[in-house]
Amino acid sequence: MRCLVINLDRSRDRLAHVASEFGRIGVPFERVSAIDCPDFCSVAKSPLSAAEVCCFLSHRSCWEIVANGADQYGAVFEDDVVFGAGAGSLLASDRWVPRDADVIKLETHFAKVRVGRKEVALDDGFSLARLYGLHAGAAGYVISRSAAQRLLRRTMHLRGEVDFVLFHPGFMTCSVNRIYQIMPALCAQHHFVSGRERLPSLVRRPGRRPKPFLDRIVGEAVRTFAYLRNQSLTGTKKIEAVAFSGSEVDGKPVHGAFIYGQPEHGHFNKAAGIPIARKNSSTAK
């Protein structure tokens, strides 16, 4: 399984960071040159900012590589990713990936999310559950060749941020895919787990955009279609956050994150006031 990393030519510090992360887990990666805003030509009728469009097109470049490659699955990462424990053994191959999976979300944003109650057990305490609700972020995911081909066809016109197109059930591009969440997460963006923005996001989203009434109606219809198609009206649960499998970043304890493998549930990370998840809790099964 090829691991593709999106990186701007001018972001050498981020390339050094992600190269160190992949070196630490012993997995090779391929750099994909990101599309930069100064080189960007505007996309007509897109509701996205220039930075969001460039980010989306950079992910599409990765989908093209997966869609035209020989492997059934590929992994896509952004260059501010931090890996947790166990990432290396899973990213070394795709043998653990369910053959019916279209997309597997590898990261966590530490937000409430709805997943299926039924889990598929993997080695080393990891599991997979169907992802039914919005889980933002596109810093790390596995995508099948067939899903990459479909996404390329369905995103000729950009109608939403790339993580929403991938992981928001109000978008048909998400609803037609069988999406899994790995638990605990293999990765997270650096600033989520370090408590500082040494690698600040290069895509600053504007304030929440009000959706036109028709778009809201269509979104709810698509969401209902997703529930019916995936038979997810029952058999799901909402969890406080998908835990992170690591406990250190840059040699320091993880800051403000649900951490997999801590001895007790309900205790708080004093630095951030956020509960730490126990290994066998409902947050970090």
Question: How high is the pLDDT of residue 140?
Answer: 98
- In this structure, are strands 113-121 and 127-131 parallel, antiparallel, or unpaired? antiparallel
Rounded CA separation 17/182 (Å):
23
pLDDT of residue 282: 38
Contact between 276 and 258 (Cβ < 8 Å)? yes
Residue 91: closest CA among 77, 80, 79, 102 = 77
Spatial separation of the C-alpha atoms in residues 20 and 119, rounded to whole Å: 32
The pLDDT, as a whole number, for residue 38 is 66
Mean pLDDT by 10 residues, the chain (285 residues): 96 96 97 83 66 93 97 97 95 95 96 92 95 94 98 91 93 91 95 70 52 54 56 75 86 76 39 36 37
Q: How far apart are CA 217 and CA 201, in angstroms?
A: 31
In this predicted model, what pLDDT tens digit does every residue of 34-89 receive, in sequence order?
998 766 655 545 678 888 989 999 999 999 999 999 999 999 999 999 999 999 99
User: Tell me, what's the pLDDT at 268?
Assistant: 30
Q: What is the pTM of this model?
A: 0.82
User: What pLDDT sits at residue 235?
Assistant: 80
Q: Count CA within 13 A, CB hemisphere, residue 260.
A: 24
pLDDT of 201: 59
The H-or-E segment that residue 214 falls in is helix 213-230
Check residue 34 and give its pLDDT: 95
